[in-house]
Structure 1
Amino acid sequence: MRQDSRGKWSISTHLKITAALRQLACGYSPDALDEYLQMSERVARESLLNFTECIIVLYTNDYLREPDTPLFNSMLVEDMPDIPYHVNSVEYKRGYYLADGIYLTWVSFVKAFSSVVDEKRVYFSKKQAGARKDIERTFGILQGRCHILQQPARAYEVNHMKRLMYTCIILHSIIIEDNSYNIVENDWVYEPMVNMQNTWFKRCDARNRRARELRDREVYEGLRADLVQHLWSN
């Protein structure tokens, strides 16, 4: 306890930070800190939310890359550069994400086959699922550090849950850097530049064209077939 500027006794900043970290790292509920820190549930909850807000304000630019919302906004910008690559001697212009069956059938998603009829597809589905598991394990590591991610979230508003997730990611990145485990520098972030000299109609046409390309079923099936053959041959 300490005296504030009004001369009244209040909980110190150190105790509030301790309460926030215990909730993040150990998954304690706010009312579980009443006896240990002599802190009410309301103060513990507010301490957590204030802590997450401070972490995001101070460290977002250094440790958290701005997400695309929605994810494919940047792909619809006309000045976004192509990323050409070859699969099975066929050139493609867009990268892709590994996904399961709930995602849309777009060229930027490579999904496993819902039914496999030959050895090539069986092999591809195993490789695709294995690569997705690596990504899921990464989130498992984050859950291991921040046990609050394993707890029910009904008590939090959507905006609060988003701030909690961002804070956990930032703290995880800080720990990785402090332990010298980071393998790349993320100083460069692509920011699409819109050519303002183009008319509004031209920009709309370009956006619609890219949207059609993104939903091209023929390219989607072709990429997946080429990946199946590439994996089978190598």
Structure 2
Amino acid sequence: MSRFGKSLHQRWDEDDESDDDDLLILAGLIEGSKRNKRKKNFRGSLPGRHSVRRGILGGHDGIFRDYFADPCIYNNKHFRRRFWMSKTLFLRIVAAVESHDDYFRQKPNAVGALGASPIQKSIAAVRMLAYDVSADFLDDYVRLGESTIIECLKYFVKAIVEVFNEQYLRAPNAEDTARFMAINHARGWPGMLGSIDCMHWKWDKCPTAWRGAYTGHKDGPTMILEAVASQDLWIWHAFFDLPGSLNDVNVLRRSPLFQSLTSGTAPELEYIVNGNKYNIGYYLADGIYPPWATFVKAFHSPQGNKKTYFTRAQQAARKDVERAFGVLQSRFTMVRGPARLWSKEDLWYIMQCCVLLHNMIVEDEREEPDDFNYHQEPNGIRVLKPKDYERRDPLLLNDFLKIHEEIEDRSSHERLRDDLVEHLWARYSAR
């Protein structure tokens, strides 16, 4: 190739390279212009987010002036109506969670400014539970950000469960059993331990892949709470997190309700109904539950005055657990409306926390009549502590199977129900 042609080819290559460089420079300028535009809106930790100077200490001062100062703006009656508990109980809860979890202690941040107080964090969590409001709705009162309020809720419910679970959601001991057996004996139900039923909690944020497993006869996916309640609305047993596609019998088969009875750690009791002696307490249940010795159900189609009266009395007494569900949902609206969290673990802690707070409120507001002795032993009723708890192995197969046979004995169920029919009719006739 000639010298002239070779130099011309080189110039074409150089022009191509310069064009590529120009394109790269132009792309860089365009990207830089976009960054500059985004930079103008940068006001916080993320592009486009405005940094809010909330005044966290001012939020604490406002709460303190409203409810805890002397004198305060809103009295104890206002506090009870807005938080569903007394001020004394609330301060006791705040002290307990603060001593249990370092998260609730007021600490300085990186620049030395004090953060939120334990009262601020606890009020944010309790108001979310009580009113089922969004975290952003509480920002202008407690002066905490949305993510911080959600974090407070998760830490609060976990601390409540870890601190109070053994005390306020325990299996009934001998004293507890004697107490509500005496109450139920006075109501006409000797040997009754409470009433049992299930409640559904709608899960709004259920993952799509799980919706089929969690959808049953209710509208949309739900999770089930199995509970046993007494007349004073105390919830003695709470089993939660099973999918809503199950019915009450499926939940019962997975429930630890009879764990203390099968392991030999339940209090020993004896009571007499219509002249016959029984040594296993029972729960009032609706028609779906199996005909076991531990359940007393109403007649589906009662015939005669005795069975008709028994059915009405059983349905009236069984409303104890329905009333407990109603009060639980009215106190904590979060468990009445759809659950808007993604994690099953978070929902479990929220439900357990609400049940524990419910029992704490029941204990705090319980008014016992002075003329009734809850520790009395009515005629024919005896409650003792388990004698062989220290030396019996609860995993012995023969004892385990024997107790299960006694629990699921259909003939004992029918015999007990017939005796209760006669017992209640005799009480009704004696009036």
Smaller-chain TM-score range? 0.7 to 0.9
Say whether 1:195 aligns with 2:391. yes
Match of 2:403 in 1: 210
Check conservation: 2:263, 2:394, Cα contact below 8 A.
no
Name the SS for the 2:299 alignment partner: coil
Give ranges in structure 1 of 5+ residues lacking alignment.
none
Match of 1:143 in 2: 329
Check conservation: 2:394, 2:400, Cα contact below 8 A.
no
CA distance in 2, matches of 1:57, 1:229: 46
1:175 CA drift (Å) = 3.6
Match of 1:166 in 2: 352
1:12 aligns with one of 116, 131, 153: 116
Name the SS for the 2:272 alignment partner: strand
Cα gap change, 1:182 to 1:19, in 2 (>3 Å): farther
Say whether 1:129 aligns with 2:315. yes
1:149 CA drift (Å) = 2.3
Tell me which structure has the larger Cα radius of gyration: 2
The Cα offsets for residues 48-70 of structure 1, whole Å up to 9 and x where unpaired, read as 11111222233334433255851
CA distance in 2, matches of 1:148, 1:206: 43
1:120 CA drift (Å) = 1.8
Match for 1:227: what amino acid? L
Identity %: 36
Name the SS for the 1:206 alignment partner: helix
Match for 1:209: what amino acid? K
Give ranges in structure 2 of 5+ residues lacking alignment.
1-55, 58-106, 172-236, 239-254, 376-384
CA distance in 2, matches of 1:199, 1:170: 28
Match of 1:63 in 2: 168
Match of 1:52 in 2: 157
Match of 1:106 in 2: 292
Cα gap change, 1:194 to 1:113, in 2 (>3 Å): farther
Name the SS for the 1:94 alignment partner: coil
Match for 1:25: what amino acid? A
1:135 CA drift (Å) = 3.0
Match of 2:338 in 1: 152
Match for 2:389: what amino acid? M
Name whichever of 56-65 and 109-118 sits farther off.
56-65
Check conservation: 1:79, 1:194, Cα contact below 8 A.
no
The Cα offsets for residues 121-170 of structure 1, whole Å up to 9 and x where unpaired, read as 22111101100113321332233322222221252533323322332233
If the length of structure 1 is used for normalisation, what is the TM-score?
Answer: 0.80
RMSD across aligned positions (CA): 3.1
Match of 1:226 in 2: 419
1:226 CA drift (Å) = 1.2
Name the SS for the 2:277 alignment partner: strand
Match for 2:305: what amino acid? E
CA distance in 2, matches of 1:206, 1:61: 27
Which protein, 1 or 2, shows the higher relative CO under an 8 Å CA cutoff with sep ≥ 6? 1
Say whether 1:118 aligns with 2:304. yes
Name the SS for the 1:115 alignment partner: coil
CA distance in 2, matches of 1:91, 1:130: 25
Match of 2:19 in 1: none
Check conservation: 2:292, 2:408, Cα contact below 8 A.
yes
Name whichever of 212-221 and 17-26 sits farther off.
17-26
Check conservation: 1:77, 1:194, Cα contact below 8 A.
no
CA distance in 2, matches of 1:177, 1:224: 32
Q: More strand per residue: 1 or 2?
A: 2
